[in-house]
Amino acid sequence: MTESQVDTAAPQVEEPEKPFKVEIVVRRYSSETDQEPYWQSFTVDMYSTNRILDALHQIKWEQDSTLAFRRSCAHGVCGSDAMRINGRNRLACKTLIKDLDITKPVYVEAIKGLPLERDLIVDMDPFFESFKEVQPFLQASDKPEKERIQSIEDRAVFDDTTKCILCAACTTSCPVFWTDGQYFGPAAIVNAHRFIFDSRDEAASTRLDILNDQEGVWRCRTTFNCTEACPRGIEVTKAIAEVKQAVLRGRP
């Protein structure tokens, strides 16, 4: 290679993205000071790869430390930051700014159908009560020396419902749950499904009896809101339909 052939052009350096303004409108409420919830607007500096959780942190850490919301892992694993973002249940930590229309304000409020405690925090006790009622744990009388062996095919039957992170996005997007807080709700049924169809478990008929209750699977109106809301991509409505069929059969 001659000297004239050497490429002397400087390598292209990409301009770093500049932050831009995003208006976040949060539905605020404190039982100590407010009669009713109200909307409050904040403007934050964001990058396209920031998430709504980053916006909430910026508000809390730099503008208003009284803003209340739950979060833990910040990576879509713990399920603690489900909220309504532009009218749709999502995890704040998995909702990227670049996926929202930021030419308009972004509206953030607590999930619906559970008692509002403060700002974006609801009382999750009724949700976990329903979850506990379906006995979401393995029940087996045998005592193997090592692990209980299960075939790949048997494991695959309930693979989808093992992915639940109990975020409540499905249950609190369900119109039946909004109007009747007694309904077990999609998340409890998903977690029942996970054990009803587990070949190692022996308590399927107990769970099917529980879900044959008037507040059980038959309250589902197959609106698919739950499937659309699930941040784990679980086919929630399909799982509910499988449990309905198992109730009719009287076995998984």
Q: Minimum distance from CB of 226 to ligand SF4 (Å)?
A: 6
For residue 247, the partner it binds in ligand FES, ligand SF4, none, with Cβ less than 5 to 8 A by kind, is none
Exactly one of 167, 210, 246, 247 binds ligand SF4 (CB under 6 A); that residue is 167
Please count the helices (runs of H) and the strands (runs of E) in the chain: 8, 7
Q: Please select the residue that binds ligand SF4; options are 211, 236, 243, 247, rule is CB under 6 A.
A: 236
Question: Alpha helices of 197-252 — where are they, by DSSP H?
Answer: 204-211, 225-229, 236-249
User: What would the x/- binding string for ligand SF4 be over residues 116 to 155, using CB under 6 A?
Assistant: ----------------------------------------
Structure token digits, residue 97? 């700014």
> Dmax over Cα atoms in the chain, in whole Å?
85
In whole angstroms, give the CA distance from residue 160 to residue 32: 42
Inter-CA distances, 223 with 80, 187, 245, Å = 24, 15, 17
Query: What is the nearest approach in angstroms of ligand SF4 to the Cβ of residue 65?
Result: 29
Q: Does 106 bind ligand SF4 (CB under 6 A)?
A: no
Q: In the range 65-124, which residues lie near ligand FES by CB under 6 A?
A: 71-74, 76-81, 91, 93
Two tokens, residue 134: 């379906």
Strands (E), the chain: 20-28, 38-46, 82-85, 88-91, 106-109, 116-118, 121-122
Is there binding between residue 243 and ligand SF4 (CB under 6 A)?
no
- Residue 109: which of 99, 118, 97 has the closest Cα? 118
**Would you say 213 or 235 has its CB closer to ligand SF4?**
235
- Rounded to a whole number of angstroms, the CA Rg of the chain reads 23
Letters for 151-190 (x = contact with ligand FES by CB under 6 A, - = none) are ----------------------------------------
Q: Which of residues 193-212 bind ligand SF4 (CB under 6 A)?
A: none
Q: Which of ligand FES, ligand SF4, none interacts with 192 (beta carbon under 5 to 8 A by kind)?
A: none
Do 67 and 60 form a contact (C-beta atoms < 8 A)?
Answer: yes
DSSP 69: -
Confirm or reject binding of residue 170 to ligand SF4 (CB under 6 A).
Answer: yes
> By the criterion CB under 6 A, which residues form the site for ligand SF4?
79, 164-170, 186-187, 190, 229-230, 232, 234, 236
> By the criterion CB under 6 A, which residues form the site for ligand FES?
71-74, 76-81, 91, 93
